[in-house]
């Protein structure tokens, strides 16, 4: 910054109440700074953006506003800088916001998906997250009681619906898409039990990237159809026949 100011005559750009746009001096200084901020190879690339971001935030009347209001100020500068703003705001955002804006991923993006896209994603998602993905998302071993794997899996599947979705889509609505009715239990299992005092970044990053991968590549199974066909009212278990099969094969019935 000092180098650029020296080359531009050591005078800071000014903006009076009568100005209708930047003058040549301000435009030259701004262009030079922008080229550095937008060029990853420059040594001051990250430091300059951090300075510009913090300076812009200090001018706001509500510097502690939510991630949406802070990041949208960068929209005129293009999607790249919006993404960098989201990355910078990620650590102070809620899990819901981190998922919606994919701010914990290498490529944050402004949410623009319609409700129909989220509904389609829900048809490709089981009510309880796949066991393989669940194992990847479990935090380091914990000793708290009352940890329920089924609630954690349901909570993760519900959170999976949030990335890129419309602003009106909340956790409760996402849970309804999957038929997950124990909303507080499932959400609390993720945030307050398994991930209590844990870094949520791996969870937020993985779920957001998995959501967009589902949107792009699809799933061979229509889970919405399964949920419609196989319900408590349509499924019965012949316990006597089950016990006989277990006895025949030497299995434990668990009954």
pLDDT by residue (tens digit) across 61-95? Answer: 787 788 999 999 889 888 988 999 999 999 999 99
Q: What is the mean pLDDT of residues 44-60?
A: 84
Q: Among the listed ranges 3-7, 120-124, 144-148, 150-154, which one has the minimum average pLDDT value?
A: 3-7
Q: Which residues contact 242 (CB under 8 A, 6 or more apart)?
A: 253, 255
* Exposure string over 99-116, b if 16+ CB within 10 A, otherwise e: bbbbbbbeebbbbebeee
Report the pLDDT value the prediction gives residue 160, as an integer from 0 to 100.
98
Whether residue 194 has pLDDT greater than 70: yes
* Mean pLDDT for all residues in the chain: 87
Whole-angstrom CA distances from 135 to 130, 139, 169, 252 are 9, 9, 27, 25
Distance CA 2, CA 12 (A): 10
What's the confidence (pLDDT) of residue 6? 62
How confident is the model over 224-248, as pLDDT tens digits?
999 999 887 787 888 899 999 999 9
Residue 53 token pair: 């971001």
Token pair belonging to 78: 């293009």
Tell me the mean pLDDT in the region 98-104. Answer: 98
**Stretch 212-225: mean pLDDT:** 96
- Whether the predicted pLDDT of 143 surpasses 70: no
Mean pLDDT of 144-163: 90
**pLDDT per residue as tens digits for the range 27-43:** 676 677 777 777 777 77
High-pLDDT (> 70) share of the chain, %: 85
Cβ pair 83, 109 in contact under 8 A: yes
Token pair of 168 as six digits: 């009106």
């Amino acid at each position: 910054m000092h180098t650029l100011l020296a080359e531009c005559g050591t005078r800071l750009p000014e903006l009076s109440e009568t100005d209708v746009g930047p003058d040549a001096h301000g435009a030259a200084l701004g262009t030079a700074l922008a080229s550095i901020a937008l060029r990853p190879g420059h040594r001051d690339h990250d430091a300059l953006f951090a300075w510009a971001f913090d300076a812009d935030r200090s001018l706001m009347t509500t510097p502690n506003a939510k991630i949406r209001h802070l990041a949208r100020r960068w929209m005129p500068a293009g999607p790249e800088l919006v993404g960098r703003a989201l990355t910078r705001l990620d650590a102070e955002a809620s899990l819901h916001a981190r998922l919606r804006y994919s701010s914990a991923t290498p490529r944050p993006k402004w949410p623009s998906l319609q409700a129909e896209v989220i509904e389609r994603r829900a048809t490709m998602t089981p009510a309880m997250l796949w066991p393989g993905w669940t194992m990847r998302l479990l935090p380091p071993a914990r000793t708290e009681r009352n940890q329920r794997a089924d609630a954690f899996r349901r909570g993760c599947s519900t959170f999976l619906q949030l990335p890129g979705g419309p602003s009106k889509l909340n956790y409760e609505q996402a849970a309804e898409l999957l038929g997950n009715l124990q909303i507080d239990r499932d959400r609390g299992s993720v945030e307050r039990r398994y991930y209590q005092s844990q870094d949520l970044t791996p969870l937020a990053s993985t779920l957001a990237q998995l959501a967009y991968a589902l949107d792009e590549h699809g799933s061979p199974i229509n889970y919405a159809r399964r949920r419609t066909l196989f319900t408590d009212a349509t499924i019965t278990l012949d316990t006597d026949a089950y016990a006989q099969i277990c006895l025949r094969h030497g299995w434990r019935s668990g009954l």
